[in-house]
Amino acid sequence: MKLLTMVAGVLTLAVAYGQEKPIMSEQAFKNVRVLKGIPVDQFMATMGFFSASLGETCTDCHSAESGGSWEKYADDNPRKETARRMIGMMNAINKTYFGGKREITCYSCHRGVERPDVTPNLADLYGPPPSKEPDELRQPAGKAASADQILDKYIQAIGGAERLAKLTSFAAKGTYQGYQDEKYPVDVFAKAPDQISTVVHTAAGDSATTYDGRTGWIAGPVAERPVPLLELTGGDLAGAKLDAAIWFPAQIKQALTGWRSASSRSIDGHDMQMIQGTNDGRYPVNLYFDSKSGLLARVVRYDESPIGLNPTQIDYADYRDVDGVRMPYRVITTWLDGRATTEFTEIKPNVPIDAAKFSRPAQ
């Protein structure tokens, strides 16, 4: 009964604020003491940052009972109290020694373990250095191909500007599989230049992610989500806009600003050319194109949180011809506390799509 009351309260807030004012963390959840005044999507991303930094699951820091009750996540325990103190310590270090600029995060010390290492590891010192994803805008690479040249090659590789201009919508079917989860049917509806809706049909009910060209939402069954309807804000909203625009590449150059050619690297044994753009002039969006085929293989973007940047990586593969345009039939999305694979069985281009598909999901 208490859980139903909490959910009803969250739904009431969602109705009351709608698009004008996203729900804040302390409005949606009980016993929020430190991470107040931030939208719920940013609050949940921060939980993911904790999980990735310490290499632990949600119930490791909360309680075993919270696995079956959203309300139990509000209960205090020594680990939550430690986390609150650690946030204060991190903020104090950044304020005292770095003028308030975020130079230290949870990950700086923990690096995926509960207790920070204090002794150097020789295997780390003399083993192959791990590749690091750029999380800042780089200076343009010397004699490398320009971003315009790489994007133009990509446009040609997937069908050319003339054919892309004729792609105005599509409807796709396939399967969606979360990390260590079973496969579920999925429907994707998209309309140029940047509207998209993804509906996963789970055993507990439909879960939808929708972007209407201006506003985005995530909605799902009460049993699977602490907040049934979540409005996207900040970097999540900008990311949804970019993800939608990438399906209609004729607009890709306008999707970001500050384009630059950054570097080259290998992904799964394939040589890649990496270029960067930006949504806000602060953080990069890294795009990797296969040097041989010219096809887009990976996008990495970042979202702000109170304790650090949250990366999202999207891999595109299995390109097939769809009415003269090559489109990826496999998309893998990876974020700090999850991974999902979408595999399409069919993509139907230029079909009529009801505008309601892109509206705010029903509660």
End position of a domain, from candidates 110, 138, 162:
110
Q: How many domains does the chain have?
A: 2
Tell the residue number behind the tokens 């345009």, with chain if given: 325
Query: Looking up tokens 């004012």, which residue turns up?
Result: 21
Q: Are residues 236 and 348 in the same domain?
A: yes
The reply to whether 192 and 285 lie within a common domain is yes
- Give the pLDDT score at 363: 64
Structural domain of 297: 147-358
| Alpha helices, DSSP H, located in 20-146 | 25-28, 40-54, 58-61, 78-98, 106-110, 122-126
Domain boundary among 60, 91, 110: 110
CA distance 323 to 326: 8
Residue 9 maps to a domain: yes
- DSSP lists the bridge partners of residue 270 as 267
Same domain, 169 and 105: no
Task: Check residue 231 and give its pLDDT.
Answer: 92
**CATH code for the domain of 267:** 2.50.20.10
Same domain membership, residue 246 and residue 185: yes
Instruction: Please list, residue by residue across 9-38, b when 16 or more beta carbons sit within 10 angstroms of its beta carbon and e when fewer do.
Output: ebeebbeeeeeeebbbbbbbbeebebbeeb
Same domain, 158 and 265: yes
Q: Provide the pLDDT for residue 144.
A: 67
Same domain, 22 and 81: yes
Do 21 and 166 fall within a single domain? no
Residue 100 included in any domain:
yes
Per-residue tens of pLDDT for the chain, all 363 residues: 333 333 334 433 443 344 457 889 999 899 999 999 999 999 999 999 999 999 988 888 888 887 777 888 889 999 999 999 999 999 999 999 999 999 999 999 998 899 998 998 898 889 888 788 999 988 876 666 799 999 999 999 999 999 999 999 999 999 999 987 899 999 999 999 999 999 999 988 999 999 999 999 999 887 777 788 889 999 999 999 999 999 999 888 999 999 999 888 889 999 999 999 999 889 999 999 999 999 999 999 999 899 999 999 999 999 999 999 999 999 999 999 899 999 999 999 999 999 999 999 876
